[in-house]
Amino acid sequence: MEYRSVKETAEAWSITERLVQRLCSEGRVAGARKIGGSWAIPQEAEKPGDLRKRRAREPYAVDLPSEACNPVLPDSNRPRPVAPEQSHAAPERLNAPQDEQPASPNVFSRLMPLMNSSFEPGTCEETIAQFKDPSMRAIAQAEYCYFSGDAEGAAKRAGALTSHENLAVRLSACLIYAYANLPLGNINRAKFALAELRDALAKSPHASSAQSKAAMAFMGYTSSILLHLPPPEDAPPTNELLPLLPPGLRAFALYVRAHQLYLKGDHARSLGVAEAALLFSSKTYPIPEIYLHLVAVMDCMSLKRADDARVHLLTAWKLARPDGLIQAFGEHHGLLGGMLESVIKKDWPEDFKRIIDITYRFSAGWRRVHNSATAETVADNLTTTEFVVSMLAARGWTNQEIGAHLDISANTVKSYLTSSFRKLGISKRQELGQFMLR
């Protein structure tokens, strides 16, 4: 949900700022929230009718200086979405469906429904259309937008559901909204959604239930590990979480676990987790399986098993391409060790261009969250090829090995490294690690 300040609202409605404040304090502006000494008003809020009587009661109303009492709210100060029971808004179909019950302990029935769906590649849209529940269908559409690289569509659809009364829908919307805003450069909105995600379950009347705790852990690990941040301190161990999750979410949770092990440098164990999850899946869950194959690529490249990495990448591509689910490839580009350049670029050049565009946009937002939260400095001034070469070099690959993998000469590899050294202000190969992804 987008908000505007009192001043902006007054200009849009052609009334005084003081009157806007009065209307908000009287509960006549749907969804308005008070922040400090001012108000934040949803952009879609309608101007209340019958203002003439209200003006007649305050003939001496004057506007205070906007900088004194009505500051324009930056994204970081925008309020959290209002739950329907706290809002004066009329019920809406998606935000407060009257034919649905409040959140129940079984939070998984609507949590990330597309991720949790088994379907054959190429039938994603048909799968979404089969959801009878409007809120589940809306979340699934937001998921599809995100995982197919349409960040704008994902943010728009998920943003409309961040205040939903159903806990699972709200959690799903916040997660999608957070990650969709990274490639859009809306970092404060992404941080806001992540904070709302962490708070949502704590405020739920069912927060003490085992399934709610598992949902909290799932969302907590997912929202932190993928940003390469420490998981929440109060998150339960993953071995307690997994048995409570349905198959699709369990598969994605195993990807998150494998990714966590990868970040710790335990590549063999990470690969074991990913391959075991894929091996024991009785149905096809395309979204989590794409991510599992990609973390397997990361591990294989770290272990210098390029042939195995190629098999995993092509399997992920076979799952993803029929529905255009290419977001994960862009997210993981820097960790895939040049495998996209080696495998995808030649045979699918247009798809490769889209993936690289996603990479640049997503990684820019990712770094702004990750670097500020960890005090690390992942390089942001290298081209994708320079980054790939530098990543492999930092992992101990020789110029000859890198050249053979990327089908370029060792001298070309050396040129890329020289350019990277210059941009990073370093002089030795051993110094690359501090600027590369873990």
Going by C-alpha positions, the residue among 182, 103, 122 that lies closest to residue 370 is: 182
Span 12-19, average pLDDT:
78
Mean residue pLDDT of the chain comes to: 77
Cα–Cα distance measured from residue 290 to residue 69, given in angstroms and rounded to the nearest whole number? 50
DSSP 68-95: HH-PPPPGGGPPPPPPGGG--SPP-TTT
Q: How far is CA 50 from CA 53, 55, 154, 316, in A?
A: 7, 10, 37, 59
Span 95-106, average pLDDT:
37
pLDDT confidence of residue 408: 82
- The single-letter DSSP state of residue 65 is P
β-bridge pairing 3-4 and 38-42: antiparallel
Q: Would you call 438 helix, strand, or coil by DSSP?
A: coil
pLDDT confidence of residue 266: 92
User: What residues have CB less than 8 Å from 325, skipping those under 6 apart?
Assistant: 124, 147, 148, 286, 287, 290, 319
CB-based burial, 150-162: b 16+ in 10 Å, e otherwise: bbebbbebbbbbb
- Residue 265, sorted as left (phi over 0), alpha (psi -120 to 50) or beta, turns out to be left
pLDDT confidence of residue 239: 67
Do the beta carbons of residue 340 and residue 320 sit within 8 Å?
no
- The single-letter DSSP state of residue 344 is I
Going by pLDDT thresholds of 50, 70 and 90, the confidence category of residue 138 is: very high
Q: Take residue 381 and report the two structure tokens written for it.
A: 């001034």
pLDDT confidence of residue 436: 61
Residue type for position 416: Y
Of these ranges, 159-168, 231-240, 248-257, 371-380, the one predicted with the greatest mean pLDDT is: 248-257
Span 149-172, average pLDDT:
91
CB-based burial, 326-339: b 16+ in 10 Å, e otherwise: bbbbbbbbbbbbbb
Going by pLDDT thresholds of 50, 70 and 90, the confidence category of residue 99 is: very low
Do the beta carbons of residue 314 and residue 343 sit within 8 Å?
yes
Q: Please write the tens of the pLDDT for every residue from 191-246.
A: 888 888 777 656 655 555 677 677 777 877 777 777 766 666 655 566 667 788 88
Q: Please write the tens of the pLDDT for every residue from 28-44.
A: 788 787 665 567 888 77
Q: Take residue 365 and report the two structure tokens written for it.
A: 């937002």
Instruction: Identify the residue whose tokens are 């009287």.
Output: 26
Going by C-alpha positions, the residue among 174, 187, 158, 164 that lies closest to residue 74 is: 187
Cα–Cα distance measured from residue 187 to residue 191, given in angstroms and rounded to the nearest whole number? 6
For the ranges 21-35, 265-279, 419-433, the lowest mean pLDDT is seen at 21-35
Cα–Cα distance measured from residue 297 to residue 410, given in angstroms and rounded to the nearest whole number? 23
Q: Take residue 222 and report the two structure tokens written for it.
A: 């997912």
Kind and range of the H or E element at 436?
Answer: none
Going by C-alpha positions, the residue among 337, 254, 326 that lies closest to residue 297 is: 337
Going by pLDDT thresholds of 50, 70 and 90, the confidence category of residue 84 is: very low
Q: Please write the tens of the pLDDT for every residue from 345-356.
A: 889 999 999 999
Q: Please write the tens of the pLDDT for every residue from 309-322.
A: 999 999 999 999 99
Going by pLDDT thresholds of 50, 70 and 90, the confidence category of residue 376 is: low
Going by pLDDT thresholds of 50, 70 and 90, the confidence category of residue 277 is: very high
